[in-house]
């Protein structure tokens, strides 16, 4: 045990405290860094991850989260192939280098090339000598396609820029050098070829610009966006893990309702035996003992929260749970900074994120706050009477989600049986537009909070507050709570 839980945290959660303003040291809030650890090896510039729930994180949400500096965990209420495809979409979407660029061989007709370009939604493609040869023959872009009639059966090589006239780069070319070449020659695509003339990658202007505009995006060493994926602890979880890792998932999440359990131990041991040192997030727990247990098992991050979520009915149905700020603090008192803590569930206002972070969490997982956005799965429902737009948010153990899992074309073996009472519920939430705006708002509020804490970085604020948060927190009476939050 790292430290004993302060009694003042017992029974307390986010609405119970305010932060006592400290002497400010930053001139501009924009300068405040929010860099944090998500897990042993992963770093984020925004300490926020999206929940692995079927009404929150699919490929679109995961992509947006990573572009904004956070990360998404794709939910597992899907057949393995579909979940893996979602992860692959995020990994393939952006990168400094497209490692396996789409190619067509010489001899392809213009008609076929047009179909290929439309199918893959690209602006041009590399042409190789013979199918599968990998030898660069040229580049065909949209602009090269003939617009006069009667050329549809002509081969692409009549219109492409041949390899001899192309500006190319070697594999591993530094980003700055690639950018310089592209700008100097006013080109939008830089094929990478080795000494034998084989295609080894492609750099596009679009990706370079995106990487420059969002230096805070969460990316791996190759510039691909970071993405996590949930696997569960039973049934097909090892098969699922294998597929998710194959397509490049950066972290696996063993996510079960009661993470301080024998089932978790067996699952972690099985994953480690089969996949070794992969980045593994485990949860959920809500006590010091639970957090210490996951640390001992070798989790790379510990996810904390039993029953605080908006779609949760666990506390109502079973009486089990710990108020979320107490749970986060207990976990930190147990493991300190030896393993990062993800505070999962119960965040209703942006200020809750900051309270979680300075009491122990390294990042925060959000469900309902991010639902209702364009990027969350599901369509917008419009009330015919009021014209109000809404989306569905539901707990993963809600009767609806459980039934969907049971009746899906490829039922999950660990789908809850109908005789297990539902511990989640479904609700409608207001439609909120793009998640990007919500994340920008959270980023802004977090930066202000750090400046009220008298520091220039979240890391410094945490270092200052974590050993003794009660020095900095004001407990609220119910009158003070009304004064603070009732408007």
**Where does this chain bind ligand XMP (CB under 6 A)?**
51, 53, 284, 305, 307, 309-312, 314, 344-347, 365-369, 395-398, 423-424
Query: Closest distance between ligand XMP and the C-beta of residue 285, in Å?
Result: 11
> Contact 191/206 with Cβ under 8 angstroms?
no
Query: Closest distance between ligand XMP and the C-beta of residue 365, in Å?
Result: 5
Exposure class string for 128-160: b at 16+ Cβ within 10 A, else e: bbeeeebbbbbbbbeebeeeeeeeeeebbbebb
Query: Strands, DSSP E only, in 47-133?
Result: 48-50, 71-74, 103-105, 124-128
Closer by beta carbon to ligand XMP, 98 or else 366: 366
Q: Which residues have CB under 8 Å from 309's CB, separation 6+?
A: 51, 344, 345, 346, 367, 368, 395
Q: Give the distance, in angstroms, between the CA of residue 187 and the centroid of all CA atoms in the same chain.
A: 32
* 414-420: long-range contacts, CB 8 A cutoff, minimum separation 24: 414/232, 414/233, 414/234, 414/235, 414/236, 414/237
Q: How many helices (H) and strands (E) does the chain have?
A: 15, 21
Query: Strands, DSSP E only, in 228-339?
Result: 228-230, 251-255, 280-285, 301-304
Query: Closest distance between ligand XMP and the C-beta of residue 87, in Å?
Result: 18
Query: Closest distance between ligand XMP and the C-beta of residue 63, in Å?
Result: 19
Closer by beta carbon to ligand XMP, 290 or else 309: 309
Closer by beta carbon to ligand XMP, 161 or else 362: 362
Whole-number Å distance between alpha carbons of 57 and 248: 17
Instruction: Report whether the peptide linkage leading into residue 284 is cis, meaning its omega lies within 30 degrees of zero.
Output: yes
Closer by beta carbon to ligand XMP, 133 or else 408: 408
> Contact 300/251 with Cβ under 8 angstroms?
yes
Choice among 103, 282, 312, 359 that is catalytic: 312
Whole-number Å distance between alpha carbons of 331 and 10: 13
Query: Closest distance between ligand XMP and the C-beta of residue 30, in Å?
Result: 27
Query: Closest distance between ligand XMP and the C-beta of residue 323, in Å?
Result: 13
Q: Give the distance, in angstroms, between the CA of residue 78 and the centroid of all CA atoms in the same chain.
A: 17
> Contact 85/244 with Cβ under 8 angstroms?
no
Closer by beta carbon to ligand XMP, 129 or else 423: 423
Query: Closest distance between ligand XMP and the C-beta of residue 1, in Å?
Result: 25
Query: Closest distance between ligand XMP and the C-beta of residue 253, in Å?
Result: 10
Q: At what angle do helices 59-67 and 80-93 cross, to 10 degrees?
A: 30
Reduce the DSSP state of residue 210 to 3 states and report it: helix
The angle at the Cα of 299, spanning 296 to 301, to the nearest 5 degrees, equals 125
Closest residue to ligand XMP: CB criterion: 424
Closer by beta carbon to ligand XMP, 127 or else 405: 405
Count CB-CB contacts under 10 A for residue 192: 22
Encoded tokens for 257: 């309702």
Closer by beta carbon to ligand XMP, 18 or else 347: 347
Closer by beta carbon to ligand XMP, 140 or else 405: 405
Query: Closest distance between ligand XMP and the C-beta of residue 361, in Å?
Result: 13
Closer by beta carbon to ligand XMP, 32 or else 264: 264
Q: At what angle do helices 288-297 and 324-335 cross, to 10 degrees?
A: 50
Whole-number Å distance between alpha carbons of 193 and 325: 54
Active site residue 312: yes
> Contact 435/441 with Cβ under 8 angstroms?
no
Q: How many residues are present in the chain? A: 487
Q: Which residues are catalytic?
A: 312
């Amino acid at each position: 045990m790292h430290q004993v839980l302060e009694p003042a945290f017992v029974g307390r959660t986010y609405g119970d405290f305010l932060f006592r303003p400290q002497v400010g040291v930053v001139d501009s809030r924009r300068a405040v860094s929010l860099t944090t650890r998500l897990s042993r090896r992963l770093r984020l510039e925004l300490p926020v991850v999206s929940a692995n729930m079927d009404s929150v994180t699919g490929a679109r949400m995961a992509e947006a989260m990573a572009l904004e500096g956070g990360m998404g965990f794709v939910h597992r209420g899907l057949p393995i192939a579909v979940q893996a495809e979602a992860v692959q979409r995020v990994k393939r979407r952006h990168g400094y280098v497209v490692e396996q660029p789409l190619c067509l061989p010489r001899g392809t007709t213009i008609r076929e090339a047009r179909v290929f370009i439309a199918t893959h939604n690209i602006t041009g493609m590399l042409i190789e000598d013979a199918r599968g040869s990998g030898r660069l023959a040229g580049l065909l872009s949209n602009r090269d396609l003939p617009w006069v009639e009667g050329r549809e059966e002509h081969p692409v090589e009549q219109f492409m820029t041949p390899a001899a006239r192309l500006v190319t780069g070697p594999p591993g070319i530094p980003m700055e050098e690639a950018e310089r070449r592209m700008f100097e020659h006013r080109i939008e695509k830089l094929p990478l070829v080795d000494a034998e003339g084989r295609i080894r990658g492609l750099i596009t202007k679009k990706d370079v610009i995106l990487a420059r505009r969002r230096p805070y995006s969460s990316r791996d060493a190759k510039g691909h966006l970071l993405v996590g994926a949930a696997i569960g602890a039973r049934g097909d979880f090892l098969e699922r893990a294998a597929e998710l890792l194959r397509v490049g998932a950066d972290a696996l999440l063993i996510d079960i309702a009661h993470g301080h359990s024998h089932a978790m131990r067996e699952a972690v041991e099985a994953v480690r035996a089969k996949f070794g040192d992969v980045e593994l997030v485990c949860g959920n727990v809500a006590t010091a003992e639970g957090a210490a247990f996951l640390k001992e098992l070798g989790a790379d991050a510990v996810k904390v929260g039993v029953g605080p979520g908006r779609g949760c009915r666990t506390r109502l149905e079973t009486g089990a749970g710990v108020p979320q700020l107490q749970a986060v603090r207990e976990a930190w008192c147990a493991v300190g900074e030896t393993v990062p803590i993800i505070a999962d569930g119960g965040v209703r206002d942006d200020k809750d994120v900051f309270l979680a972070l300075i009491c122990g969490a390294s990042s925060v997982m959000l469900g309902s706050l991010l639902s209702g956005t364009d990027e969350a799965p599901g369509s917008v429902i419009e009330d015919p009477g009021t014209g109000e737009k809404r989306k569905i948010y539901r707990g993963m153990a809600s009767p609806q989600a459980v039934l969907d899992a049971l009746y899906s074309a490829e039922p999950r073996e660990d789908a809850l049986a109908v005789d297990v009472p539902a511990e989640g519920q479904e609700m409608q939430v207001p439609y909120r537009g793009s998640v990007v705006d919500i994340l920008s708002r959270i980023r802004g509020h977090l930066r202000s909070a750090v400046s009220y804490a008298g520091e220039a970085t979240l890391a410094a604020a945490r270092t200052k507050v974590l050993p003794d948060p009660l020095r900095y927190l004001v407990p609220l009476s119910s009158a003070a709570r009304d004064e603070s939050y009732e408007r």
